[in-house]
Chain A
């Protein structure tokens, strides 16, 4: 009896250790630590941390308008998180999510503004155009990487500039709203805007799309041959080659998938949330996708972290209004957890724990 109890205790200990050493625990710990840092900062800014936290979450979740905004942000953040995560797992660090997202939105805008057809058809075509634009934007870095071995980090960052300038050229040129005094497209016709689903609830239809895609990505990564190949290629490229895996094809597939999702994010944001592409229309969704992917670690994690980041993004405005703490503080939060996460993982303390868990 006592023996079996001891055994149980050992098992529990082992599980605890394994839990500690998993990256999910680290991600949660770093998010909590970052929130604590946020509290500390707001304390120094002269506000009560409790009030700051309350205003943050109330501002994001209380009331229909706030909730709709948060969910719309969630769509963009989840999809751009996946746009980084999927290629990242295959060993391609796609930093160009922002550019892919913006050209995606431009393409979707062009379709909705130039076509007249039944609503579902136009929306579908617009989203397909957004996907195609994202894929097009990543094709240059991808080909350079496959053919010439160019670092995709450099090339995708550079493509960001090109894409954003292209967006500016479009909204001040061919797609410019003649009635506007600044560079913007005309609003997407009301008939072609994304409805909320269930109708009238205010929940953006894009949210369901994003959630379904995240689930599908999770299944793809864990339960398909392609997913296993993808993780093998990202984990050890040379070993994947030696195992006969078509490495370049897997890499191409994952990168195109990621870019397609970034483009789709642009299209969904345009049709469901901003309705215009304009100078400075977009938040840095594509960029925030990077910390979301790194912290999330898997598609479901991306979904969760994306929600948190969306809440903070939306809540920051009411936080500033109610407590006087600058909303910019939230941007601190977008980087801090990743730094803490990486710091924790690199620490000797962590490696001791993982070794003990072996």
Chain B
């Protein structure tokens, strides 16, 4: 009977004699006889529509190395690797995997057979299946009426032990933490016998501690002879583990350098084409007294469940930028959505400019000057089918000058749009262009333009620069700082510590729905904040930096 794990056509199957996943047999000889190059990509080109994502990129990946693939958003890192993994077909170029050229029909399936595995930014796990089922699934066929679960379990338990994974195989994936889910993904690849692992931004969702653990694991994998490609835009990680670093910029290969021959500054320079100035650089004005946004003991979440936001209190003063730091999923999104009125609060009070806004509708809060830059602009920020102009005024088109007694004044709308286009540098063929046809950066500029239009008093910005390139990121941050300088209160929720440390007067750290730490600007320290983000408070209770003890507490 053809049982799982016994199929012949997959190399690297026999786990008793060969360490899992390493290159085996004839192919290994071939590779080692040559230049020890596992994968060679030559002249890879790929366009999406009129956008050139990759422009004749060359890349060699050696056996047993960790390669960091770095570049800004949209540099083509992920595209290049998805081509190697067979999900996209290159427009031009060729790939040689284990010394053999890939055919036209190169696919993820073939890549897996060739022991290439990829972990995407969004995990491809089935949440309500167990770890065991998830790991075995790619290899199960419909003919396997009764898979030999106990046999596979034994093999997997050995693997888990070897790599120090500590989750039970029967656990449902949805019950695991994000870090553990990632380990499940890695286990899946190892079990398939992958010896080239591609990880796409693996640390984006991890705490600093989890990140360290992952990086350690990568080093161990390398020592066992695996090759690893680490797609990242965090240079610290690249320098922590990589043997060599490949830099892409706007779809072109800039350089591949050994880690010991370079330094972060040089790589950053290659990435952005200009001198990179590390955090700071902003001149923040001191906030004024008073409070524009005040939250008292706010509780958000469904009844009879652990609340997503648990008795949070905070104050945003005029001209102050307050950051909310935390690992994704600790309640910061819910907090922001409750503030703007998308989510109901279970208890607590929200005060906007001193007035109780807890029971106000979204529209009322908008009128009071509360603006929202959503985390996911496609979900909350824009209507793709409507034109740019319509998107820019949609939240206030019921007011003059945009409409009179319910009838739109097209001229006023067009004029406002033209002003926003000019002022915020939105690049669009015309204000009538449907929003979906703009690029991501321009869409975000439009979302920003709408949030800052009129006279905002408080801005709640969630991940305001997510998915933006260097220039757009700088632009958005500068706009927020400028708003604060005009006396607007800003609450920034971001998963990028660097961003918060650059922008904020104060940072609140949120963990499991509670604010467990608060630091003012002169005390910012990535180590402390990272520790707080994992729920570890240095001296127990709520952590306060010196001199902030009374700032965060409402009067």
Residues of A bordering B, CB below 8 Å? 223-228, 231-232, 234-236, 238-246, 352, 355-356, 358
The residues of B that contact A227 with a CB separation of less than 8 Å are 408
Per-residue contact bits, chain B 393-412, to A (CB 8 Å; 1 contact, 0 not): 01101100001001110100
Residues of B bordering A, CB below 8 Å? 48-50, 340, 342, 361-363, 365-366, 372, 374, 378-386, 390, 394-395, 397-398, 403, 406-408, 410, 429, 437
Structural contact, A242 and B383, CB atoms closer than 8 A: no
Structural contact, A242 and B385, CB atoms closer than 8 A: no
User: A276–B365 Cα gap in the complex (Å)?
Assistant: 55
**Residue in B380, B406, B407, B410 whose CB lies within 8 Å of A242:** B380
Structural contact, A231 and B363, CB atoms closer than 8 A: no
Distance to closest chain A CB from B274 (angstroms): 28
**Residue in B365, B380, B406 whose CB lies within 8 Å of A238:** B380
Distance to closest chain A CB from B548 (angstroms): 32
Structural contact, A223 and B397, CB atoms closer than 8 A: no
Pick from A224, A242, A246 the residue with the most CB of B within 10 Å: A242
Structural contact, A241 and B362, CB atoms closer than 8 A: yes
Distance to closest chain B CB from A154 (angstroms): 25
Structural contact, B363 and A244, CB atoms closer than 8 A: yes
Structural contact, A241 and B397, CB atoms closer than 8 A: no
Please give 5 more A-B residue pairs, beta carbons under 8 A apart, in addition to A224-B403, A356-B50.
A239-B380, A242-B380, A245-B394, A245-B395, A358-B50
**Residue in B50, B382, B385, B407 whose CB lies within 8 Å of A231:** B385
Structural contact, B386 and A224, CB atoms closer than 8 A: no
Structural contact, A355 and B50, CB atoms closer than 8 A: yes
Known: A223-B407, A225-B408, A242-B372. A232 touches B384 (CB 8 A): no
The residues of B that contact A242 with a CB separation of less than 8 Å are 340, 342, 362, 372, 374, 380-381
The residues of B that contact A355 with a CB separation of less than 8 Å are 48-50
User: A236–B395 Cα gap in the complex (Å)?
Assistant: 14
> Which chain B residue has the least Cβ–Cβ distance from A246?
B363
Would you call the interface of chain A mostly helix, strand, loop, or mixed? helix
Structural contact, A244 and B406, CB atoms closer than 8 A: no
Structural contact, A356 and B342, CB atoms closer than 8 A: no
Nearest 4 A-B pairs (CB), nearest first?
A: A355-B49, A244-B363, A235-B383, A243-B395
> Which chain A residue has the least Cβ–Cβ distance from B413?
A228
The residues of B that contact A226 with a CB separation of less than 8 Å are 406
Distance to closest chain A CB from B140 (angstroms): 32
> Which chain A residue has the least Cβ–Cβ distance from B410?
A223
Structural contact, B383 and A239, CB atoms closer than 8 A: yes
> Which chain A residue has the least Cβ–Cβ distance from B340?
A242
User: A355–B51 Cα gap in the complex (Å)?
Assistant: 10
Structural contact, B390 and A228, CB atoms closer than 8 A: yes
User: A356–B47 Cα gap in the complex (Å)?
Assistant: 12
User: A76–B309 Cα gap in the complex (Å)?
Assistant: 54
Distance to closest chain A CB from B135 (angstroms): 35
User: A352–B50 Cα gap in the complex (Å)?
Assistant: 9
The residues of A that contact B437 with a CB separation of less than 8 Å are 358
Structural contact, A244 and B361, CB atoms closer than 8 A: yes
The residues of A that contact B342 with a CB separation of less than 8 Å are 238, 241-242
The residues of A that contact B398 with a CB separation of less than 8 Å are 225
**Residue in B50, B362, B384 whose CB lies within 8 Å of A235:** B384
Distance to closest chain B CB from A18 (angstroms): 9
Structural contact, B385 and A235, CB atoms closer than 8 A: yes
Known: A224-B408, A226-B406. A352 touches B397 (CB 8 A): no
> Which chain B residue has the least Cβ–Cβ distance from A354?
B437
Structural contact, B383 and A225, CB atoms closer than 8 A: no
Structural contact, A232 and B383, CB atoms closer than 8 A: yes
Distance to closest chain A CB from B275 (angstroms): 33
Distance to closest chain B CB from A243 (angstroms): 4
User: A239–B377 Cα gap in the complex (Å)?
Assistant: 8
User: A224–B406 Cα gap in the complex (Å)?
Assistant: 6
The residues of A that contact B403 with a CB separation of less than 8 Å are 224-225
The residues of A that contact B382 with a CB separation of less than 8 Å are 236, 239
Known: A226-B406, A231-B385, A232-B394. A239 touches B379 (CB 8 A): yes
Structural contact, B362 and A244, CB atoms closer than 8 A: yes
The residues of B that contact A241 with a CB separation of less than 8 Å are 342, 362, 380
Structural contact, B397 and A228, CB atoms closer than 8 A: yes
Distance to closest chain A CB from B252 (angstroms): 22
Distance to closest chain A CB from B384 (angstroms): 6
The residues of B that contact A240 with a CB separation of less than 8 Å are 383, 394
Distance to closest chain A CB from B180 (angstroms): 30
Distance to closest chain B CB from A204 (angstroms): 31
User: A145–B364 Cα gap in the complex (Å)?
Assistant: 26
Pick from B383, B385, B429 the residue with the most CB of A within 10 Å: B383
User: A244–B397 Cα gap in the complex (Å)?
Assistant: 11
**Residue in B49, B363, B379, B381 whose CB lies within 8 Å of A356:** B49
> Which chain B residue has the least Cβ–Cβ distance from A226?
B406
Distance to closest chain B CB from A89 (angstroms): 10
The residues of B that contact A238 with a CB separation of less than 8 Å are 342, 379-380
Distance to closest chain A CB from B19 (angstroms): 44
The residues of B that contact A225 with a CB separation of less than 8 Å are 397-398, 403, 406-408
Structural contact, B384 and A236, CB atoms closer than 8 A: yes
User: A208–B90 Cα gap in the complex (Å)?
Assistant: 58
> Which chain A residue has the least Cβ–Cβ distance from B47?
A355
What are 27 pairs between A and B in contact, CB < 8 Å? A223-B408, A225-B397, A225-B408, A228-B397, A231-B383, A232-B383, A232-B390, A232-B394, A235-B383, A235-B385, A238-B342, A238-B379, A239-B379, A240-B383, A240-B394, A241-B342, A241-B380, A242-B340, A242-B342, A242-B374, A242-B381, A243-B394, A244-B362, A245-B363, A355-B49, A356-B50, A358-B49
